[in-house]
Chain A
């Protein structure tokens, strides 16, 4: 009996092969003509006014924090959902409390305007 991840491993190798091969092919087959004007990053005909490499404010950092929070919640849900029928009423009440606590958190962020975009 093969290990159940053998197929995944072979598939991964093939996917890497296909993707790598494509990048290799396109860099070999295509023409190469370099001159200064062409190599400039595209900015609607202008030369670059501001470099994208300077520090910028990440407006959605709050979204990222919320993502971590709620994605972990979702991951907690997965095993619970699988065993739901076996856990019965007890498991349901436990999860209800969990959802309530997170719901309060969500309501707090919501009311404070953390989910609003300008």
Chain B
């Protein structure tokens, strides 16, 4: 009991460390650096400690320090409680969705089965959607409570965009659920040990639609109308400053990691290497004993998983710096008139194919 609690705690600390402590700050730098590379600029490379710049990696630390020491501004007439509460509501779901995301398989360490997921819920995927949609409240309340017209416009755009794409996002993964017959993310990951059963081969259309809907749900370019800086200043966080503003950014970056993780688990074989089953890997390292071999395989799998996640983060960043912003009616049209009928068709086609094969 106590050991299990300790193991759970260790996993939680690892996940929070990786998302909040590593990805969130580093991605602010990566985003600037990648835009610089894509636009043939030198980019964020000036922050230094005693002359060492480390490619500009210290910008992440500099940003964090700056945001902590900026004034926490609340405009006249704003609802102080809601204004303070909304960044909290936006960040919590972003962190919490990681509770069901497995970052490795099951390993036999010191005579104990260790499952590399914080909570192995049987409704895993539904949990992710349920929790992620709570963040909508954070953004809408942020815009409304600021007593600012731009913020209000931004929050109204957020509300209608996020609820539109939530429907589509839910429907696009139905095909995946039909193929794997489970909502447990660990189980979906385990099935994909067989390279021919990776989601991308079974549900290619599902992958494209899910990625599109997920980026729209995360309000990143080309779907960033809620915060379109050339139209409505900064949208729902116009009146936010300091770390409260940073928290909205943080939740966006963490959600980007979540999307990449979910895409990896559903469509790209989770923590598995193509053609290399866990058993093969274990037999290679047999010489190290059960625990040693398992430990090594665990490290490899976690590494592979995060390598895939980083690839999809890179992909989202490339999309962000390649495409211009869509018009609002185009976004709505894409969601309701293209993705929704297409995802329903995908469900029907998947159903017919599965019925024919059985």
Residues of A within 8 A of B (CB): 1-2, 4-8, 10-12, 14-16, 18-20, 22-23, 25-27, 29-33, 39-44, 48, 50-53, 56, 58, 60, 63-64, 66-67, 70-71, 73-75, 77-78, 81-85, 88-89, 92, 95-96, 99, 103, 106, 110, 115-118
B40 at the interface (CB under 8 A from A): no
**Nearest CB in chain B to that of A92: its residue:** B351
Contact A50–B149 (Cβ < 8 Å) = yes
Chain B residues near A1 (CB-CB < 8 A)? 4
Across-interface contacts of A118 in B (CB, < 8 A): 329
**Given A29-B68, A32-B71, is A10 in contact with B12 using a C-beta cutoff of 8 Å?**
yes
Question: Which residues of A have CB within 8 Å of B347?
Answer: 77, 81, 99
Looking at the assembled complex, report how far the CB atom of B137 sits from the nearest CB atom of chain A, in whole angstroms.
Answer: 14
Bound complex: CA A12 to CA B347 (Å): 34
Does B344 interact with chain A (Cβ within 8 Å)? Answer: yes
Asked if residues B242 and A58 are in contact (CB atoms below 8 Å), the reply is no
Q: Are B126 and A78 in contact (CB under 8 A)?
A: yes
| A18-B16, A29-B68, A30-B69 known; A39-B76 Cβ under 8 A | yes
Q: A40-B75, A53-B147 are in contact. Are A8 and B118 (CB under 8 A)?
A: yes
> Which residues in B have their C-beta under 8 angstroms from that of A92?
351-352, 355
Q: List 7 interface pairs A-B (beta carbons < 8 Å), by A numbering.
A: A7-B12, A8-B96, A12-B92, A22-B87, A22-B247, A23-B84, A43-B148
Q: How far is the CA of A115 from the CA of B336 in the complex (A)?
A: 7
Residues A43 and B149 in contact, CB atoms below 8 Å apart: yes
Total interface residues on B, CB under 8 Å, equals 85
B181 touching A84, Cβ below 8 Å: yes
Contact of B149 among A11, A48, A78, A103 (CB under 8 A): A48
Beyond A63-B160, A81-B178, A115-B336, is A30–B71 a contact (Cβ under 8 Å)?
Answer: yes
Contact B177 A81 (CB under 8 A): yes
Report B315-343 residues with CB < 8 Å from chain A CB: 328-329, 332-333, 336-337, 340-341
Query: In the complex, which residue of chain A has the Cβ closest to the Cβ of B120?
Result: A4
Selected interface stretch from B49-57, B166-174, B271-279:
B166-174
Per-residue interface assignment for chain B, residues 222 to 266, with 1 indicating a CB less than 8 Å from any chain A CB and 0 otherwise: 000000000001000011001110110000000000000000000
Leading 9 A-B pairs by shortest Cβ distance = A26-B243, A74-B170, A117-B329, A7-B119, A60-B160, A81-B177, A7-B118, A15-B95, A67-B163
